Amino acid sequence: MATTKHDDDDDGGVYALAPEPPVPVSPASACTATLTADKRRAVRSYLTDLGPALRAKYGRKPHYTPAQVRETALERALRIDYLCWAYVLHCSAPAFESLHAAAGEACDYLAMRAAVGAAFFGGGTEFATPAVVDVIVSGAAPVASEAAGWLAGVDWTVLLNCP
């Protein structure tokens, strides 16, 4: 982290930490609720790679901060072109909205969750990302596909890119 010298200090200076730059968001065009093949691959990696990495680094949580999501995505060398999709999966709705408001973007959290639900969760939007990560980490996809509720609607072969 950079340090900044306060010029108004006459006694030789006091160093302070520079403010953190804001966490960037994807351009609004990347947040459109249509999942192209590229976005779909990115979302899959945000679920199957980023989700377990966040858990390993920060513990099992219902939500992570946008900074944690971005930092972990960068560490894992995941695509950041569609990082808003990682935010919609791993951050709370208020954190997602706040991040986008600060960036002057108007991405639709509910529409993006609906697109993910349609692509991976049998059309459901009630999916819980921590539960998906539980299944991925445990290797229990075959058992989960026989579960009740939204887990039964998951196409695990598509999500996990199995043959």
For the chain, the average pLDDT equals: 77
Q: Please indicate, yes or no, if residue 78 is contained in any of the structural domains.
A: yes
Length of the chain: 163
Q: Which residue has the higher pLDDT, 28 or 70?
A: 70
* Mean pLDDT confidence for 6-31: 55
Q: Please indicate, yes or no, if residue 60 is contained in any of the structural domains.
A: yes
pLDDT over threshold 60, residue 25 = no
Q: Please indicate, yes or no, if residue 48 is contained in any of the structural domains.
A: yes
- Distance between alpha carbon 43 and the CA centroid of its chain, in Å? 9
Alpha helices in 91-160 (DSSP H): 93-103, 109-120, 129-138, 141-144, 156-159
124, HSE (Cβ side, Cα atoms, 13 Å) = 13
Q: Name the domain count of the chain.
A: 1
Q: Please indicate, yes or no, if residue 136 is contained in any of the structural domains.
A: yes
- Name the one residue in this structure whose structure tokens are 């609004």: 28
Which residue, among 49, 50, 51, 66, has the nearest Cα to 134 in the 3D structure? 51
**Tell me: the pLDDT tens digits for 100-153?**
888 777 788 999 999 998 888 888 888 888 887 877 666 655 544 555 454 555
Q: What is the reported pTM?
A: 0.70
Q: Please indicate, yes or no, if residue 6 is contained in any of the structural domains.
A: no
Rounded Cα–Cα distance for residues 56 and 53 (Å)? 5
Rounded Cα–Cα distance for residues 65 and 78 (Å)? 17
Q: Please indicate, yes or no, if residue 42 is contained in any of the structural domains.
A: yes
Boundaries of domain holding 146: 35-159
